[in-house]
Amino acid sequence: MSTPSLTDLLDSLRVVSIPMRVKFRGVTEREVALVQGPTGWGEFGAFLEYAPPEASRWLAAAVEAAWEGWPEPVRESVPVNATVPAVDPHAVSGVLQRFSGATTAKVKVAERGQTTDDDVCRVAAVRDAMGPSARVRVDANGAWDVDTATDVLGRLAAYDIEYAEQPCATVEELRDLRIALARNGIDVPVAADESIRKAEDPMRVRDLDAADLIVIKAAPLGGVRRALDVVEQCGLPAVVSSALDTSVGMAACVALAAALPQLDHACGLGTVALLEGDVTTDSLVPVGGALPVRRVTPDPALLDRFAASPDRIQWWRERVASCWKEA
């Protein structure tokens, strides 16, 4: 493996800003930085509010993609779920149409400013649109306390929920929630997301018996190899998810899912469809509910079309330098 210098990173850096089709986790314009190395392109897309200690892991993932490459895949394609933002129920069918062939949907719940009834109606609309055989999972991004999560998941269980992703914020709350769900006869498995990718010690989820499965992302964990290590150490079933990546970043997510020894759940890798544009004309979007395993090369014309403003480019250059010091 060749190791880049900071100068190497900055010399190849391209920053793009792509509008979102709908607001997603508060984002209306997705800004990411792309770097090019001897093995291809990598994406550095840590969300803007992340400080250098956390964002540096995302930079490490970009460096892995561009200067090291990824492990050999054990499958040629990866099943993908539809992703339904916190939209009104009448908008659900339109969102699902962008994920043709998907038999699993992840539904965002616990959106700030919305109610439990909003969540239930949205999930009901997804179940109605996809039919009884589809898998429907929900993602609360840690917004509920244990009592609220128990109550809401008790209501949502009527729609045959595959699992609830990060219903509570802390590992201890996830553990207590699993106990509460079992005590109340609520059959909704719990998945840990932020408790894995944002934790100083992801193994606490395993040690406290706080989840039935884990959700992993390549970039927040520092790259594909680091994410594979976390899965192996946790010993729990894993679902791979993305982080509003362009197709360049999505290729790393697919590489992670393709390298997992076992993959029993559809992955949250259909989010390129949530962007109004992309950095390539050959986008990594699902076909028939699955994604192929391949690299992506940006189109120079699209890099120019979606180029961020000069002040934003300078901000990202300074951010790369700050994160480089943390590496």
**118 is known to lie in a ligand binding site:** no
Q: Does the domain made of 77-297 have the CATH classification 3.40.50.720?
A: no
Q: Which residues of the chain form CATH 3.30.390.10?
A: 6-70+301-326
Active-site position among 23, 106, 108, 325: 108
pTM of the model: 0.91
Q: Could you give the CA distance from residue 218 to residue 61 in angstroms, rounded to a whole number?
A: 7
Q: What is the per-residue pLDDT across 6-31, written as a single tens digit (0 to 9) for each?
A: 999 999 999 999 999 877 777 899 99
Catalytic residue among 23, 106, 217, 325: 217
Question: First vs last Cα of the chain: how many Å apart?
Answer: 16
Give the model's pLDDT for residue 327. Answer: 72
Provide mean pLDDT across the span 186-202: 90
The tens digit of pLDDT for each residue in 250-299 reads: 999 999 999 999 999 999 998 898 899 999 999 999 999 999 999 999 99
Ligand-binding annotation for 160, yes or no, is no
The better pLDDT of the pair 195, 157 is held by 157
pLDDT of residue 27: 85
CA distance 108 to 26: 12
Query: Any catalytic annotation for residue 106?
Result: no
Write down the pLDDT at residue 74.
98
Whether 1 shows a pLDDT value over 60: the answer reads: no
- Give me the pLDDT at residue 243, please: 85
> 75-110: per-residue pLDDT in tens?
999 999 998 989 999 999 999 998 889 999 999 999
**Helix, strand, or coil (residue 303):** helix
44: number of CA atoms within 13 Å, CB side? 31
Q: Could you tell me which of 136, 129, 124, 192 has the C-alpha nearest to residue 160?
A: 136
139 labeled part of a ligand binding site: yes
The lowest-confidence range among 4-8, 142-146, 206-210, 323-327 is: 323-327
Start-end ranges of CATH 3.20.20.120 in the chain?
Answer: 77-297
Alpha carbon 266 to its chain centroid, in Å, reads: 12
Q: Average of pLDDT values for 43-62?
A: 96
- Sequence-distant (6+) residues with CB within 8 A of 79 are 103, 104, 263, 265, 266, 267, 289, 290
Tell the CATH superfamily of the 6-70+301-326 domain.
Enolase-like, N-terminal domain (3.30.390.10)
Closest CA to 292 of 257, 249, 240: 257
Indicate if 325 belongs to the active site. Answer: no
Of 218, 217, 247, 241, nearest to 18 by C-alpha is: 247
